[in-house]
Amino acid sequence: MQLKQQFQQRFGALPQAVYSAAGRVNLIGEHIDYCGGCVLPAALSLKCRVAVRKNSTRFLRVAATDLDPVAVIDLEATGNYRGLAWGNYQAGVADEMRKAGYPLVGCDLLYDCTVPFGAGLSSSAAIEVATAYALCRTAGVEPDKTALAVLCKQAENNYCGVNCGIMDQFASANGKAGHAVLLNCATLEAREIPLDLRDCVLVLSNCNKPHNLIESKYNERRGEVETALALLQTAGDYSALAEVPLSVLEQNKQHMPPVIFRRARHVVTECARVEAAVRALGSGDLAAFGQLLNASHRSLRDDYEVTGRELDALAEAAWAHPACLGSRMTGAGFGGCTVSLVRKAGVPAFIGEVGAKYLAEIGYPASFYVAEVADGIVEE
């Protein structure tokens, strides 16, 4: 059944509008957003759609097509819903909007999300951005998408306790079909980079590892790079780790605990790989782009230590496949997806062979999606 009809069944009238925000894949520049560097995500056609209608109350009624419970959120008490299993992202967004002085009106919301949960493709950012946009538009505000992304990131930091950077929400809001977004996370300046992959596509492979402590390990890495920056600030006037040249890092190696040095080396070398990847895409050198994906994965595996055996198994199986030009984990890591550049003609064999190797090695299957790069926020 169509989303509008489902909305009518749940809430007794057709919605006024349907909006959507995208999931994202990060092509390269991993664990760089909170270090003040450049990242290269793209918005996906996997997205969160929300149908919305004003309800003339001071409450949000929040439902999902695949869930029975309806979360009811009092707009005068948006701070009270932190523990909700369903509805906490929406409450967090409403809470940030209220604090920032946005007008809020009561409304009914029905969500239909095709971004798989826990896959590292930013389903939470898609829910947040779709919610913020729907609430703004329903209250008669045409919001600035970047301001909205920042607000949604703050909701995730303050309400949901995840100390994430800006990349996911920015891509979810500002992504553009057929393009990656080169985002400078220090300035929020963004450039659309045409993604002409010719005879190749991006294949997302979800390792399907059950959720485990991603948030605490993520926050631990953030602490480690803060330590690295503090140590390197004795060597120069740096306001972010992404500004530190590799030569300066290497000169200071003996003053740094080995783990902290390796974390910093990932950040500094990954920033250089982002620049090289943009050049490779610009000149159509897909082989070079693929090699940079591989190097990024190795750095995340050996220096940043956020891959784990499941993502390594997927990446290694992809590297060994003749149709694959490059492959790396994408997102926070510890689970979730890899992104692989694969020749179109070889995709079925790639999925078959990588899937079989993964199953044999890990004991449960991976899932595969051919990525379509789409717009961020859309009004249907």
Report in angstroms how near the CB of residue 52 gets to ligand GLA at its nearest.
Answer: 25
- The DSSP bridge pattern shows strands 59-64 and 17-26 to be unpaired
| Site track for ligand GLA across 311-340, x = CB under 6 A | --------------------xx--------
231: its two tokens: 């140590």
Q: How far apart are alpha carbons 235 and 186 in whole angstroms? A: 21
Report in angstroms how near the CB of residue 368 gets to ligand GLA at its nearest.
Answer: 20
Report in angstroms how near the CB of residue 31 gets to ligand GLA at its nearest.
Answer: 5
Footprint of ligand GLA on 238-277 (CB under 6 A) = none
Q: How far is CA 148 from the centre of its chain?
A: 15
Q: How far apart are alpha carbons 346 and 331 in whole angstroms? A: 25
- The DSSP bridge pattern shows strands 107-113 and 59-64 to be parallel
| Site track for ligand GLA across 10-49, x = CB under 6 A | ----------------x---xx-xx---------------
- Which amino acid, 79? G
Round to the nearest angstrom and report the end-to-end CA distance of the chain.
17
Selected catalytic residue, list 168, 303, 312, 375: 168
Of 30, 23, 28, residue with least CA distance to 40:
28
Size of the site for ligand GLA (CB under 6 A): 11
Residue with tokens 């496949």: 321
Write b or e for each residue in 293-315: b if 16 or more Cβ atoms lie within 10 A of its Cβ, otherwise e: bbbbbebbbebbbbbbebbbbbb
Of 132, 106, 158, residue with least CA distance to 50:
132
Report in angstroms how near the CB of residue 318 gets to ligand GLA at its nearest.
Answer: 19
Q: Which is nearer to ligand GLA, 90 or 138 (CB)?
A: 90
Q: How far apart are alpha carbons 380 and 376 in whole angstroms? A: 12
Give Dmax (Cα) for the chain.
68
Report in angstroms how near the CB of residue 309 gets to ligand GLA at its nearest.
Answer: 19
| Angle, in degrees to the nearest 10, between helices 145-158 and 88-99 | 120
Residues 115 and 44: beta-carbon distance below 8 Å:
yes
Q: Which is nearer to ligand GLA, 15 or 120 (CB)?
A: 120
Report in angstroms how near the CB of residue 81 gets to ligand GLA at its nearest.
Answer: 21
| Site track for ligand GLA across 135-174, x = CB under 6 A | -----------------------------xx-xx------
Q: Which is nearer to ligand GLA, 34 or 368 (CB)?
A: 34
The values of phi and psi at residue 334, to 5°, are: 65, -5
137: its two tokens: 């538009």
Asked if 96 is part of the footprint of ligand GLA (rule: CB under 6 A), the reply reads: no
Q: How far apart are alpha carbons 311 and 300 in whole angstroms? A: 11
> Would residue 168 show up in a list of annotated catalytic residues for this protein?
yes
Q: Which is nearer to ligand GLA, 104 or 300 (CB)?
A: 300
Q: Which is nearer to ligand GLA, 30 or 353 (CB)?
A: 30
* % helix, strand, coil for the chain, step of 5: 45, 20, 35
Q: Which is nearer to ligand GLA, 108 or 168 (CB)?
A: 168
Report in angstroms how near the CB of residue 183 gets to ligand GLA at its nearest.
Answer: 11
Q: Which is nearer to ligand GLA, 328 or 343 (CB)?
A: 328
- Which amino acid, 66? D
Active site residue ranges? 168
Contact set with ligand GLA (CB under 6 A): 26, 30-31, 33-34, 164-165, 167-168, 331-332
